[in-house]
Structure 1
Amino acid sequence: PYFIRCIYKIFCLLYIAKVIFRIKQNLNIVSYSIPEEMSKGSVVGNIAKDLGVDVKRLKTGKARLHVGNSAEYIELDREKGLLLIKEKIDRESLCKQTTPCAVHFQIIMESPIEFYRVTVEIIDINDNAPTFKRNSMFFEISESAVKGAKFALEKASDYDVGVNGLNRYTLNPTDNFILKHSDNLGGEKGIEMVLEKPLDRERQEHLTLTLTAFDGGDPQLSGTTQIHITVLDVNDNAPVFTQAIYKVTLQENTPKTTLLLTVTATDSDHGINALLTYSLSSNTEEILSLFEINATSGQVRLIGELDYESSRHYQLQVKARDQGGLTDTCNIMFDISDVNDNPPVIDLMSTTKSIPEDSVVHTVVSVMNVHPDSGENGRVQCLISDKIPFMLKSTSNNFYSLVTDSELDREKTSEYNITVSCSDEGVPSLSSSVTLTLQISDVNDNAPVFERSSYEAYIVENNTPGLSVFTVKARDADWNQNARVSYILEDSSVNGVPVSSYVSVSADSGVIHAVRSFDYEQIKDFQFRVKAQDGGSPPLSSNVTVKILIQDQNDNPPQVLYPVQTGGSVVGEMVPRSADVGYLVSKVVAVDVDSGQNAWLSYKLQKVPDRALFEVGLQNGEIRTIRQVTDKDPVNQKLTVIVEDNGQPSRSATVIVNVAVADSFSEVLSEFTDFKHDKEYNDNLTFYLVLALAVVSFLFITCLVVIISVKIYRWRQSRILYHSGLPVIPYYPPRYSDTMGTGTLPHVFNYEVCRTTDSRRSDFKYGQPGSENMLIMDPTLSGTMQRILSEKNILDEPDSPLENYPPSD
């Protein structure tokens, strides 16, 4: 059973140690204890193991030590995860008499930001021997001093603490005096020399004693001072203070030279033996640098600056000595009260200079530690400026984390100047502030936006390939590479042809170039889409529609549709000599495949004689008589009509219209025969006569066949219309009938040619516009019109390319 109980106790102790270790881990606190004066490079501890952190984390997290305002004595070996001695530590210089003595610092890691608090306690070693302030002490003691008289001795000082501090004193020789330790009110131990055997000045006027102070270290160290005693003659009353202990409370901001108090001692002796002097004894250098006493009056004044944060209590020992060498001592206890004289000190432990705009809420930006004043004055409140997407969180006592409070948008604000202000609760309140500059790095969260929702551009036909047509522009609210916009032509087709065969777009500038030369008569407009894509990852894009309108250029001359120019017709139109002024002879019909003013046509006659018989309408191309026909007018007249468009430069076409001025066809034929006869050579006259007879016979037979055919056709048509009851609709050439007098052809005129067996007596009959749909003439004269009526691909087919041509007027 005893063995089992031992095992059980061991397990309990291990469990308690494990719980303590886990608690320390949860508090992120690691403590070490090392002796002072360790050599540089000595190992303090394996911090990676003690923190439970992988050594790689120390390297990737850029672990570093943050020591605040303290000097750096410890350094971190990130490669091995060890804490090493950077500088040899002297505990006495670091902490003086304060115990325990420790170095506090933090270990900071980034990505993510973490910090751990580390405490290294410095253990004292016995490296300082006790020392006395003076090598000699002098006393004048009256021979009347009674046994048991006490003489205060100056204490030795030992900078070590604990067992290594001052332990005991010895006095040698001990014939007349022995040592006695006394306890002061402040807990300090004093030393007194007590008269054990009365002095006899006559036997020995001067005594020399050796006072030795020992510490408790191992090995033991010591220090000595000499006590020189002069024996005086009868002074049998020692001074006595009115109070053994004085208590005074001072504020730390008490000014120098302030009178603190006056100590008083009395001596029952008379005369010179009753004259007292005051002095400070058995005090450290620190106390002597702060206080002084007037040797005659006993007034104690402040000569230094007090600091509540350095020391809160001071104890002075005042000695009163009479002229006979008798002394008495008293203690003055000074309690220092705190004054709010130190503003909070903000220590930035870790700061991030830049974070991406898509950082999650509560991302840590900075970690800081605030060092406040003491006591009630040490209560601190820290705030940041309003209307910024950040907040300040208190992680532990006087440790704060600056974190994001909402989503960030670099396009709205790219930089923040965050001012952290900390103020204490003292009276008056003191504060301090620090400003952090935080850059917001860009994230590709904005797609390019075109300046317009759609674009229209114009280009004149017959352009040079590669010509710059238009520029599209898109802007991206992001920055740098994320705002670098590239332009891409999206795949599509125009009339079955890829749009890339028509235009191209510059990836950098967005300039649209024509790949080919355009023809307005083939394509008048087309549209395509351009994509703007930024350089982010992943890239964002937007689209816009661009419409290209082809503008016409005067690159096509007018085309004459009527009269059709052939080499077989000599006379095209016939004008009776009885025609009135304004008689419509014919109409020139022309079109221009261009558009706009490039298709506006005008007509004029070339080489108009002085007594011109005809004129042509400038806008409609109608050839009319401008005077009465006379006998002097030649039968056969050749008119040259020039058709011009309104383009710049103007283009034109020429058409020849043969006009016969005669009342009958025989007259035209006779003139034609004479005309031909004049031109023949005389030796071929018989040949031409025979040829003329053959031609006339052929024409007669042809006309006769045509007349009979027309009469039969008209009879059949009238019978059909009569039985159907439909109205008679006049026939005009398709798409060129005159509507309200604004078309390209006038109303159809009907002509009848009546022939007899005698060709010279045939007559030409002219009728007003009617509802008939045939123009019956001599085959020689009406060939042009018959060819126009037979050209179905030009006038009758609905899909003819001429159906979209503008009218000539």
Structure 2
Amino acid sequence: MKGLASLFILFLLICSVFGQISYTIPEEMSKGSLVGNIANDLGLQTSRLTSGKARIYTRENGEYIELNRERGVLLVKEKIDREALCKQTTPCALHFQIILENPMEFFTATVQITDVNDNAPTFKRSEIHFKISESAIVGAKFLLEAAVDHDVGINDLKSYELKPTDNFVLKVHSSNEGDKNVEMVLQKPLDREKEEEISLVLTAVDGGEPQMSGTMLIRITVLDANDNAPVFTQPTYKTMVTENSPKGTVVATVTATDADQGSNSKITYTITNTLDDVRKLFKINKETGDVILNDNIDFEESKIYQINVRASDEGGLTDSCKLIVDVQDINDNKPEINIMSKSTVISEDAKINTIVTMINIEDKDSGDNGNVRCYISDHVPFVLKSSTNNFFSLVTDSELDRELASQYNITVSCSDEGVPSLSSSVTLTLQISDVNDNAPVFERSSYEAYIVENNTPGLSVFTVKARDADWNQNARVSYILEDSSVNGVPVSSYVSVSADSGVIHAVRSFDYEQIKDFQFRVKAQDGGSPPLSSNVTVKILIQDQNDNPPQVLYPVQTGGSVVGEMVPRSADVGYLVSKVVAVDVDSGQNAWLSYKLQKVPDRALFEVGLQNGEIRTIRQVTDKDPVNQKLTVIVEDNGQPSRSATVIVNVAVADSFSEVLSEFTDFKHDKEYNDNLTFYLVLALAVVSFLFITCLVVIISVKIYRWRQSRILYHSGLPVIPYFPPSYSDTLGTGTLPHVYNYEVCRTTDSRKSDCKFGTLGPQNVLLMDTSSSGTMQRLQSKKTILDEPDSPLEVSIGFFFHLFLVIRLCLFSTSDRY
């Protein structure tokens, strides 16, 4: 190179072998200087460096090189002093890795630092003293301290000069190890009487450009004759010491002899090394020549040491030797685990062989002590793979499932092959992020809930609960009522479902008599994207409440006529007078009916069956018993609280109708009132008569038509399906009447010969009391229709008008007779 400026010209050397790249730069480059275009040399786009968050990873002290992602270049971060960084080691290089993520990649880079001549040769001491006898023979050698130049190569120490050269000349010897021994050789005998002290200047010059030099002053005191110089037993000694040996350990002993006698034969040993590390680690016993360990010695710092020893006698004669100390390694360094790059969170749907963490392992020991094996904890879905020497990648080995394990603590352990083996470990915590891969699951496969009828709208009926094994938003469950219908009505008009809690509310008040149960489906949907869902069937059972009183079917209560039953005075005990028939549309015990009489006199003539409602005599009729008996029957259900209905049954105790009639002739009415009443009764009689005749004609026409249709059906040979009146059937199957019971009481003029007939269809027996009918009562009995069909509306109408007609006539004639 020509000139100092040429040393700062960048010399770039790129080597692309096995993913490695190398550069060469001189030391002392200013901060921000260009090292190389790493993007082009690695064949990468600058955008990849930015997106991959490219960075430099190095384990060496200090970061001298930095990466500019935007430009894709390497720059000098701190000024580099090669001597401070590598001392005498050549070549001097920085080693680091370029780490990229998404996906993870790394490249090895090396920057070699070349030397510039920035250090002058220096001597340990600026001045040394020799005592040389005047009898020293020509050719006597005097070892001088060598100069030190921290530069290397051509910038290192090149030559020495000694001035003046009247008595001494300089000789430099190069050893096989590359060291230079500087000797001052006597070429002209000394004469103390002419010159008692001599001053010489030793100059050391390096080979740099411009050259740099250092000097040392040599002062020589001329003594009287000392004819023999010390001589070592061997020029080179070799020994071995184990690293970490305790201080004070004797490494070796060097021995020199002097043929002189007296004080001229007394030898002093000194270490002449100029490097501080040797003088720091070793010391020598000046009298015995024992080389002693003065500090802790570390194989990782230096594997071999060369100690230069000088033996001097009192006459100033010297000899020198070398002690080579080999340091033996012991396994005193654990493997160092360095995390180059890692992910703390990984998705549970990550593919197999996804890189999670990149690790660098280093062991400062050598040989088997530095061979490292690494492994991870068992039973984890990860595996440790070796990418290059001392570089490992932690990758997924099987599919992940956050629901089985949401976090892994992975322990990476490394051990060397030393004896005993040393190991180290590091624990990596890895969170598994959730993916919506689980649908909500209901606690039950189906639900049943009960609600009492007549509930308040908005009442909470039941709660469905579903759980989602996912996490966070993916596990947030919403409840949705699926569209369906109940009896043709949307289910949403019956119930609603709280989207957050799953609480089912009744939208309306339910009536057990209208609907006993219904079912619908509820869907549970999570908050993932896309959402997952499941559904469940919910059945609502309506429970009965005692909200309906009993309904009396017989006797029919009318306000226009006096209806009663007649009991002959000769009736036996247990004589069936009538039967109260009632039903309750409730169910269960709410429909269990019981019958009892209200206001029973002391000598009661009648009783009613508690369960069947049959009114019977409980004793013989006497003459003291009144003709007209008014019985009040209470029908109660078994609900809580109980509900009841009341029916009045008029019973006539008489052997003939005349006795009954006489009871009705005792009434007295006002004349003026009777006139008005008579007018209205006549008018009503006319209207009713007209309606009665009209209905009679219509029903006869209908009967004839039905009879003809039945005959046609009969001749056609088709099966006849019997018809059951809906008004008399227990459609719910829960009442007290599984069948319809009709009673027909037939009496002749002589009531003692009356008989009872059961099981006939048609209206019940009634007694119509007419005071104008010469004291006689007519018995009306309806017969079965031709087809045994239920009464049509016209039949009911004509029966009603007929009864009304007779009542009006009875009232009219009664009024006219009394006044």
TM-score (norm 2): 0.84
CA gap of 1:776–1:134, structure 2 versus 1, over 3 A, is: closer
2:167 paired residue number: 176
Deviation string, structure 1 residues 169-217 (Cα, Å, up to 9, x no partner): 1111122222211123533121111222222222222211111111111
Give the Å deviation of 1:306.
Answer: 1.3
Cα distance, 1:654–1:445 mapped onto 2, change above 3 Å: same
Residue matched to 2:428: 436
Q: Is the 8 A contact 1:316 1:332 kept in 2?
A: yes
Return the alpha-carbon distance in structure 2 between the equivalents of residues 547 and 111 of structure 1: 53
Structure 2: distance between partners of 1:292 and 1:645:
121
In structure 2, the partner of 1:585 is: 577
- Shift of the alpha carbon at 1:779? 7.4
Partner of 1:767: 755
The match for 1:652 among 627, 636, 644 is: 644
Q: Distance in 1 between matches of 2:81 and 2:511?
A: 97
Matches within 5 A, 1:132-531: 132-372=123-363, 373-531=365-523
Residue 131 of structure 1: aligned partner:
122
Change (3 A) 1:274 1:530: same
Q: Report if the CA contact (8 A) 2:197-2:219 is conserved.
A: yes
What is the DSSP-based 3-state SS (H/G/I as helix, E as strand, rest coil) of the residue aligned with 2:667? helix
The equivalent residue for 2:10 is: none
Aligned-pair distance for 1:765?
4.1
Which whole-Å CA distance do the structure 2 matches of 1:321 and 1:57 have between them? 69
1:425 and 1:249 map into 2 onto residues whose CA distance is 23
Mapped to 2, the partners of 1:130 and 1:22 lie a distance apart of 35
1:582 is displaced (CA, Å) by 0.9
Q: Aligned AA for 1:378? A: G
3-state SS of paired residue (1:678): coil
Offset from partner CA, 1:722-752 (integer Å, 9 cap, x none): xxxxxxx9x9995489x9xx85789765544
1:12 aligned partner: none
For 2:323 and 2:762, the matched residues in 1 are separated by 149
- Describe the shift of the 1:103–1:307 C-alpha distance in structure 2 as closer, same or farther (beyond 3 A): same
Amino acid at match of 2:73: L
Look up the equivalent residue of 1:333 and give its one-letter code.
Answer: I
Q: Which structure 2 residues correspond to residues 79-118 of structure 1 after superposition, within 5 A?
A: 79-118=70-109
The 1-side partners of 2:752 and 2:730 are apart by 27
CA deviation after TM superposition for structure 1 residue 134, in Å = 0.6
Q: In structure 2, what is the Cα distance between the partners aligned to 1:736 and 1:683? A: 51
1:689-700 superposed matches below 5 A: none
Task: Please tell me whether the aligned partners of residues 172 and 182 of structure 2 are also in contact (alpha carbons under 8 angstroms).
Answer: yes
Distance 2:548 2:737 in 1: 21
Residues 1:512 and 1:771: Cα distance change in structure 2 (over 3 Å): closer
Q: TM-score, normalised by structure 1?
A: 0.85
Residue equivalent to 2:621:
629
Say yes or no: does 1:612 pair with 2:600: no
Task: Tell whether the 8 Å contact from 1:283 to 1:317 is kept in structure 2 after alignment.
Answer: no
**Alignment deviations for residues 305-349 of structure 1 (CA, whole Å, 9 cap, x no partner):** 211111111111111111111111111111111111111111111
**137 and 763 in structure 1: CA distance in 2 versus 1, 3 angstrom threshold:** closer
Whole-Å separation in 1 of the counterparts to 2:216 and 2:500? 93
SS of 1:582's equivalent?
A: coil
Among 655, 664, 672, the residue aligned to 2:661: 672
Structure 1 residues 686 and 44: CA distance shift in structure 2, 3 A:
closer
In 1, distance between residues paired with 2:557 and 2:444?
54
Unaligned runs of at least 5 residues, structure 1: 1-19, 721-728, 755-760, 797-809
Identify the range of structure 1 (58-67 vs 392-401) with the bigger mean alpha-carbon deviation: 58-67
Q: Is the 8 A contact 1:462 1:517 kept in 2?
A: yes
Deviation per CA, 1:697-729: give whole Å up to 9, x if none: x9xxx9xx9xxx9xxx9xx9xxx9xxxxxxxx9
Q: State the distance in 2 between where 1:504 and 1:746 align.
A: 42
Q: Once the 2 structures are TM-superposed, how far is the Cα of residue 650 of structure 1 from its aligned partner?
A: 2.5
Contact 2:14/2:23, CA 8 A, preserved across alignment: no
Q: CA RMSD in A?
A: 3.5
Task: Report the CA distance shift for 1:471/1:776 in structure 2 as closer, same or farther (over 3 A).
Answer: closer
3-state SS in 2 of match to 1:466: coil
Structure 1 residue 558 corresponds to structure 2 residue 547: no
Tell which deviates more after alignment, 105-114 or 496-505.
105-114
| Residues 685 and 172 of structure 1: CA distance in aligned 2, closer, same or farther (over 3 Å) | closer
1:662 offset after TM fit, Å?
2.5
CA separation of 1:188/1:771 partners in 2, compared to 1, >3 Å: closer, same or farther?
Answer: closer
- 3-state secondary structure, aligned to 2:496: strand
Query: 1:31 & 1:50 partners in 2: Cα distance?
Result: 10
Q: Report the AA paired with residue 118 of structure 1.
A: A
* SS of residue matched to 1:194: strand
Specify every segment of 5 or more residues in structure 2 that has no aligned partner in the other structure, as ranges.
Answer: 1-12, 712-721, 769-777, 796-819
**Kindly tell me: are residues 180 and 512 of structure 1, through their superposed partners in 2, closer, same or farther at Cα, counting changes over 3 Å?**
same
In 2, Cα distance between the equivalents of 1:155 and 1:293? 19
For residue 524 of structure 1, report the CA deviation from its aligned partner: 1.1
Deviations 1:404-462, CA, capped at 9 Å, x for gaps: 22222222222222111111111111111111111222222221111111111111112
Alpha carbons 1:135, 1:225 under 8 Å: kept: yes
CA distance in 1, matches of 2:602, 2:739: 28
Q: Distance in 2 between matches of 1:633 and 1:320?
A: 166
Cα distance, 1:358 vs. partner?
Answer: 1.8
Separation in 1, partners of 2:673, 2:236:
174
SS at match of 1:56: helix
Mark the CA change 1:435 to 1:674 in structure 2 (over 3 Å): closer, same or farther.
Answer: closer
Per-residue deviation, residues 49-104 of structure 1 (Å, max 9, x unmatched): 22222222222222222112421112222222222222111111111101111111
Distance 1:684 1:497, change over 3 A: closer
Quick one: percent identity of the two aligned structures?
65
* CA spacing shift, 1:278–1:776, aligned 2, 3 Å: closer
Report the Cα distance in structure 1 between the residues aligned to 2:267 and 2:792, rounded to whole angstroms.
Answer: 149
Instruction: Check the 8 A contact 2:358/2:392 in 1, yes or no.
Output: yes
* Counterpart code for 1:217: G
Does 2:524 match 1:532? Answer: yes
Paired amino acid for 1:656: I
Q: Check conservation: 1:125, 1:160, Cα contact below 8 A.
A: yes
Summarize deviations over 1:525-581 as a string: whole Å, max 9, x none.
Answer: 111111111111221111111111111222222211111122343233222222111
Pair 1:751–1:501, CA change in 2 (3 A): closer
Q: Once the 2 structures are TM-superposed, how far is the Cα of residue 584 of structure 1 from its aligned partner?
A: 0.9
Shift >3 Å, 4+ stretches: 20-23, 679-692, 731-737, 742-754, 761-765, 768-794
Q: Aligned in 2, Cα 1:137/1:618: closer, same or farther, shift over 3 Å? A: same
Partner of 2:775: none
Q: Give the whole-Å Cα distance in 1 for the aligned partners of 2:455 and 2:529.
A: 40
In 2, Cα distance between equivalents of 1:600 and 1:22: 105
Is contact 1:751–1:775 with CA below 8 Å preserved after alignment?
A: no
Structure 1: distance between partners of 2:329 and 2:232: 31
- Displacement, 1:768? 4.8
Tell me if the contact between 1:487 and 1:510 (Cα under 8 Å) persists in the aligned partners. yes
Question: Aligned in 2, Cα 1:407/1:784: closer, same or farther, shift over 3 Å?
Answer: farther
- Using the alignment, how far apart are the partners of 1:233 and 1:487 within structure 2? 117
Query: Could you tell me whether the CA contact under 8 Å between 1:559 and 1:592 is conserved in 2?
Result: yes
Count of aligned positions: 737
Match of 1:71 among 62, 65, 76: 62
**1:376 Cα shift?**
2.2
How far apart, CA to CA, are the structure 2 residues paired with 1:502 and 1:689?
A: 58
Summarize the Cα distance change of 1:547–1:72 in structure 2 as closer, same or farther, 3 Å threshold: same
SS in structure 2 of the partner of residue 289 of structure 1: helix
Secondary structure of the residue that 1:377 maps to in structure 2?
A: helix
